[in-house]
Structure 1
Amino acid sequence: MVDCQIDGYPDLVPKDANMGCVIPTLYVGKTFGSFEQAFYEYSIYARKQGFSVRKQRCEKKKTKDHEVYRRDFVCHRSGNGSKKCEVIENNEESGDGFKKRRRKYWSCHCNCKAHMSVWLSKNGDVMFWEVRSFADDHNHKLLDPNEVCHLRAYRHISGHYRRRILTLEKSRVLVPQILRILETEQQVEVGCLPFNVKDIYNFLSSQKLFMRENDAANLVFKCKHLKSLDLEFQYEYQVDDDNCFEYITWCHSNSVRGYQLYGDVVFDTTYKLNAYDMPVGIWVGVNNHGCSVFLGCCLLRDERQMSFEWAFKVLV
């Protein structure tokens, strides 16, 4: 079963109408309890017909509360699109002497007029949404059930698949292989899952961004935990006026003892974390055997004098 979520309605449309999904009948004059319900039923209808829908016009009353009184839902191929570049055969030489190639531009928009428009109506104290305009004439070929499932509106990664993808990604499995593994586990043919490789890449990218937002807090919590396990563990951090992370430094107990014994250190900021664009400062010393020893580490917002002064002041 294909599983999508739109406006709080899980499992938007089953893959086949024979799987217990009743295809709604739409006509001018039909009423709905809310415009979300109208969009939901129109999406079910659209999937069975071989297209997808999107929300377009939203008109509000010119009152203080700006209440919405009209919503338009259109075919995903409505509109003309925008022609970003022209198709040319040969490369064009720019003013700087380099040849510039214009790429072909393709748009799925073909000015399709299929739509459904619902208006907010009132019967006594009962508020409802009524279909005022409905058109089902498409100027393009509709997709069959094996093709319509690949439209963006019907692609969705459910909670079960998300957990499985994260588990495989932690095991260093490549994304194309993750998709093949999931297809094998579900015993479906290639391309029959409700998402594709691009959706997995987007999901993993969003997860990394979400985790990155909490990395600063997690690092401080980790230092506090190490401090509770080892009282000689040392750490210090600083935030700016906007409560944003600026600097942090930490030293393990053996590094603290090493600094007390050998004293002389070299501070190196050769490396930078590309993910956070923060220089990594490392304090390195030399023991009695001529071997390098790690004495401490810090993360700095930048390489200005103020940052280095804070790092050395904390170390001393």
Structure 2
Amino acid sequence: MDVLMGIHVPFNVPVESTPYKGMEFEANEIAYDFYNEYGRKAGFSIRKEYVNKCKKIEVVTLRRFVCVKEGVRGKDKRYQNIKKPRAETRCGCEARLVIVLNRDSKKYAVNEFIAEHNHYLHFPSTVHMMPSQRKVTATHAIEIDLAHESGLRLKQSYELLCKQVDGYDNLGFTKQDHKNYFRTKR
């Protein structure tokens, strides 16, 4: 990671995995997955910030993906004497990927790409804990359901999954994600 006057640029990402202006995607979900994978390799998490849709045909014409630390938190309107205030997570990071629909080719092209971050990036050992990287895959969902049907409790089924993939780091989701999967299932 290069550090120039407080700006952090990922250097450990292969060139073929780095977005560039003019790059095309078949769908905006494919662009999201590509940028999310780039974020995983670089050490940051992403989120969908803005979407513009054509009202006539309900097609996404513009989409902006940003670093999760983009923007700043607004003023808290609640009671001021809070005992445990939440940590500040946003720092105004400008890193983003903007895609625009090319109406002729029906593909999404990268219109803007900013790679510089104003915060430290995550180490590869902690990348699996970032919000955009945590996913309960279909395979894991089936195993969770089977464990529940055989009478295992949540904690036991989570530990079983962790042992199957050789540790928490290789699982791809947290215990809370496991619990949330169950809640949505009910």
**TM-score interval (norm. to shorter):** 0.7 to 0.9
Residue ranges of structure 2 left out of the alignment (5+ in a row): 1-12
Question: What corresponds to 1:76 in structure 2?
Answer: 68
Q: 1:22-33, aligned counterparts within 5 Å?
A: 23-33=16-26
Shift in alpha-carbon separation, 1:154–1:23, aligned structure 2, 3 A: farther
SS where residue 85 of structure 2 aligns? coil
- 8 Å CA contact 1:114, 1:134 repeated in 2: yes
Aligned residues: 173
Residue 43 of structure 1 aligns with an amino acid whose one-letter code is: N
| In structure 1, distance between residues paired with 2:107 and 2:60 | 12
The residue that corresponds to 1:108 in the other structure is: 89
Classify the secondary structure of the residue corresponding to 2:63: strand
TM-score between both structures, scaled by the size of structure 1: 0.49
Q: Percent identity?
A: 27
Larger Rg: 1
Question: Counterpart of 1:195?
Answer: 173
C-alpha distance after superposition, 1:123-181 (max 9, x if no partner):
xx423322221101111111122111111221122233222222333444332222222
Cross-structure match for 1:247? none
Partner of 1:127: 106
Q: How far 1:83 moved relative to its partner?
A: 4.8
Please report how far the alpha carbon of residue 77 of structure 1 lies from its aligned counterpart in structure 2 after TM superposition: 1.5
Deviations 1:237-296 (A, max 9, x none): xxxxxxxxxxxxxxxxxxxxxxxxxxxxxxxxxxxxxxxxxxxxxxxxxxxxxxxxxxxx
The Cα offsets for residues 182-226 of structure 1, whole Å up to 9 and x where unpaired, read as 22233x134431111101111111222xxxxxxxxxxxxxxxxxx
- Residue 173 of structure 2 corresponds to residue 180 of structure 1: no
C-alpha distance in structure 2 between counterparts of 1:39 and 1:168, whole Å:
32
Cross-structure match for 2:46: 53
TM-score normalised over the length of structure 2: 0.78
Contact 1:23–1:44, Cα closer than 8 Å, also in 2:
no
Where in structure 1 do 4 or more consecutive aligned residues deviate above 4 Å?
85-88
Please give the alpha-carbon distance, in whole angstroms, between the structure 2 residues aligned to 1:103 and 1:166.
36
